Amino acid sequence: MLLEFELNGKQTRVEVEPTLRALDLLRDVLGLTGTKEGCGRGECGACTILLDGKPVNSCLLYAAKLQGRRVTTIEGLSGAADGTADAAADGAVGGAATNRAGDDSPRLNPLQEAFLAEGAVQCGFCTPGMILSAKSLLDRNPDPEVEEIEEALSGNLCRCTGYGKIVKAVQRAAANRAGVAGRAAPNPGRAAPNPGRGAEARDER
Ligand code: FES
Ligand code: FES
């Protein structure tokens, strides 16, 4: 079938098999390897993409479901503060090319900068999904409470960080977006997230 959808701000047309997963379309056909496969069954959130601005697990989604929709992957965040740029680069901090030296490579999104600043990236496998879930949250709620951040990220599992730094990174990004320079992010005192989060929003298969 011919699939047409908006991918990171660009109209995209591609022939796909009806049973192809969205995750495989992105990674194997389109080469956007910032989207990761962890569990492959909707439990870890490593494969998170934004579908019309909402986080979904692309391992549970047929590529056909992308027809006519607006898709954002981690590669779509680099290059613009609002996350709508079309840069496609796979590197540090959840798939974005870094530009900390002022060269011509795409700039990091403020969320990516905040994850770096807070030390919220260790192995980085969860980071693309975390950042996309956080972006969806901040787009609808620019000044979330800790509990709201935890809820928004509860479908994204991290084996490395203990979550506290991730929550602080989202708070930092929110503060930076609001232009509150120098505002210290409070200690969230975070508990481990609920892995059962968001099944209804994420399972669009
Ligand atoms: Fe784990 Fe998709 S790969 S939820
Ligand atoms: Fe390793 Fe989150 S940084 S899984």
Residue 20 CA to ligand 2 center (angstroms) comes to 27
Residue range 150-167, pLDDT digits in tens: 999 999 999 999 999 999
Residue range 71-89, pLDDT digits in tens: 999 999 975 444 333 333 3
Give me 30's structure tokens.
């389109």
* Minimum mean pLDDT range among 17-26, 46-55, 187-196: 187-196
Q: Is 26 in the pocket of ligand 1 (CB under 6 A)?
A: no
Alpha helices in the chain (DSSP H): 22-24, 92-95, 110-117, 127-140, 146-152, 164-177, 199-202
Q: Give me the mean pLDDT over the 98-127 stretch.
A: 82
Q: Give me the mean pLDDT over the 135-143 stretch.
A: 97
* Minimum mean pLDDT range among 36-40, 56-60, 105-109, 127-131: 105-109
What pLDDT score was predicted for residue 104? 59
Does 32 have pLDDT greater than 70?
yes
Cα–Cα distance, 144 to 148 (Å, whole number): 6
Residue 196 CA to ligand 2 center (angstroms) comes to 18
Cα–Cα distance, 28 to 30 (Å, whole number): 6
What pLDDT score was predicted for residue 107? 81
Q: Give the helix/strand (H/E) hosting 56.
A: strand 54-57
Q: Which atom of ligand 1 is nearest to the CA of 39?
A: 1
Does 197 have pLDDT greater than 50?
no
Residue nearest to atom 2 of ligand 2 (CA): 158
Q: Give me the mean pLDDT over the 9-33 stretch.
A: 97
Q: Can you list the domains of the chain with their CATH numbers?
A: 2-192 (3.10.20.30)
Between the two ends of the chain, the Cα-to-Cα distance in Å is: 17
Q: Is 136 in the pocket of ligand 1 (CB under 6 A)?
A: no
What pLDDT score was predicted for residue 94? 56
Model pTM score: 0.81
Residue 182 CA to ligand 1 center (angstroms) comes to 36
Q: Is 123 in the pocket of ligand 2 (CB under 6 A)?
A: yes
Does 170 have pLDDT greater than 80?
yes
Q: Classify residue 153 by burial, with Cβ atoms within 10 Å: 0-12, 13-18, 19+.
A: buried
- Ligand number nearest CA of 115 is 2
Residue 151 CA to ligand 1 center (angstroms) comes to 17
- Ligand number nearest CA of 205 is 1
The distance of Cα 15 from the centroid of its chain, to the nearest Å, equals 25
Mean pLDDT taken over the chain: 83
